[in-house]
Amino acid sequence: MLLNIFQKELYQGIQIVQRAVSAKSTLPILTGIYLEAKKERGLHLIATDLEIGIEYWVKADIKEEGAIVLPADQLTGIIRELPAADIHFEVDPEHYRLYLKCLNSEFNIKGYQPDEFPQLPEVDQAQRLSVPADIFKEMVDEVKFSTSTDQTQPSLTGGLMAISREDIRLVTTNTYRLAYSRHKLENDLERDILAILPGGTLNELSNLIVAQGEIEIIINDNYVRFNINDIVLISRLIEGNFPNYQQVIPKEYNTRLKVDRDELLKAVKRTSLIARLDSNVISLSVKTDEMNITTVDSDSGDAHESLEIELEGAEQKINIDAGYLLDVLKVLKDDVVIMEMIGPLNPLTIKKSENDNYIYLIMPVRPGS
């Protein structure tokens, strides 16, 4: 394996695939990046932690084909610190060692045998469709923070991706709150898709997608492959059933209000400074023109905020976890958000506009519970 490659391009490629490298692994080779030189395409970079895998091709002048696995930490550190110049990259195929030279810097590092690196799965017998990148990224960002961390319910640690011939939906829930994002997407799928993406995959999608062009989704029963421009992200799917989210989403409301998102975010943040010293529960009380936010039964002190709102319907009072409300207010970008309530024991619904394409539910905390 012998090639010349430009430092900036190699570093960019390493940063992309590095996100899939295992931090600690019982398989030491997974802490490495697989590099393969192909005359017709350049240098192929692959990393995987067995849940997700990321592939990327970097332009390079390949003199001799070959492959090696190199420790990701060392490789990243070295390439980052090298000057912006051509790197001479040479692998001794018998001893799996890299020799690298860039201007006045030379390195010699130990690698791993490339054929011991696990192959990323082929996603065959698959359905495929395309989604606009900006829309898919926004949907992912609107739901990814709302997964469960409870490993005893694996399906809740991921997000449901439901695709029909008319639309695509992403849903996450930890049973105390739920995030739902939908986008109309006409397509010619043969059958509906119902898949659970791991939470880590949602995070990597959010990191890797730049809001340009189209994303191709290729999916079968066990795996999904996302083609994001030149980046390939392959993820296993979580087995199991996702809860019936439709049944939880309220069909009606008694109270509906509009409130300035940024004002509400700041007020909840301040109230939470006191509330989080105990259970982080706050009380929202709404009447004509005004929302009052207060701490609930806090030993450490009290906070009280009042905000202007536009109200339709009955007065309400509901106790909720301040953190759940902060999460969604930080993610949405709209100037105004809509809240809907039925009563103190029903979920609080947050929407970002008049339509139902985004719905976020927070289950109430029972007074005195």
Q: Which of 107, 227, 256, 285 binds a second copy (CB under 8 A)?
A: 107
Shortest distance, CB of residue 303 to a second copy, whole angstroms? 5
Q: Which of 193, 303, 314, 326 binds a second copy (CB under 8 A)?
A: 303
Q: Which long-range contacts (CB under 8 A, 24 or more apart) does 83-90 make?
A: 83/7, 84/6, 84/7, 84/8, 85/6, 85/7, 86/4, 86/5, 86/6, 86/7, 87/4, 87/5, 87/6, 87/7, 87/10, 88/4, 89/1, 89/2, 89/3, 89/4, 89/5, 89/60, 90/1, 90/2
Binding of a second copy at residue 275 (CB under 8 A)? no
Binding of a second copy at residue 88 (CB under 8 A)? no
Q: Which stretch binds a second copy (CB under 8 A): 118-126, 226-234, 244-252, 273-281?
A: 273-281
| Nearest CB to a second copy, comparing residues 201 and 283 | 283
Binding of a second copy at residue 83 (CB under 8 A)? yes
Q: Are 267 and 293 in contact (CB under 8 A)?
A: yes
Binding of a second copy at residue 311 (CB under 8 A)? no
Cα dihedral 221, 151, 243, 319 in deg (nearest 10): -150
Binding of a second copy at residue 262 (CB under 8 A)? no
Shortest distance, CB of residue 300 to a second copy, whole angstroms? 6
Q: Which of 27, 84, 210, 277 binds a second copy (CB under 8 A)?
A: 277
| Nearest CB to a second copy, comparing residues 53 and 71 | 71
- Sign of CA pseudo-dihedral 201, 202, 207, 210: positive
Shortest distance, CB of residue 24 to a second copy, whole angstroms? 16
One DSSP character per residue, 354-368 reads: SSSSEEEEEPPPPTT
> Which residues, other chains included, contact 94 with Cβ-Cβ below 8 Å and sequence gap of 6+?
none
Q: Which stretch binds a second copy (CB under 8 A): 51-59, 141-149, 190-198, 305-313?
A: 305-313
How many residues belong to the chain?
Answer: 369
| Nearest CB to a second copy, comparing residues 303 and 336 | 303
Q: Which of 274, 309, 341, 342 binds a second copy (CB under 8 A)?
A: 274
Shortest distance, CB of residue 258 to a second copy, whole angstroms? 17
Number of residues in contact with a second copy, rule: CB under 8 A? 29
| Nearest CB to a second copy, comparing residues 107 and 176 | 107
Binding of a second copy at residue 302 (CB under 8 A)? yes
Residue 246 CA neighbour count, 13 Å, CB half:
3
Radius of gyration of the chain (CA): 25
- Of 165, 159, 168, 329, give the one whose Cα is nearest residue 245: 159
Q: Which residues contact a second copy (rule: CB under 8 A)?
A: 74, 77-78, 81-83, 97, 104-110, 266-267, 269-270, 273-274, 277, 300-307
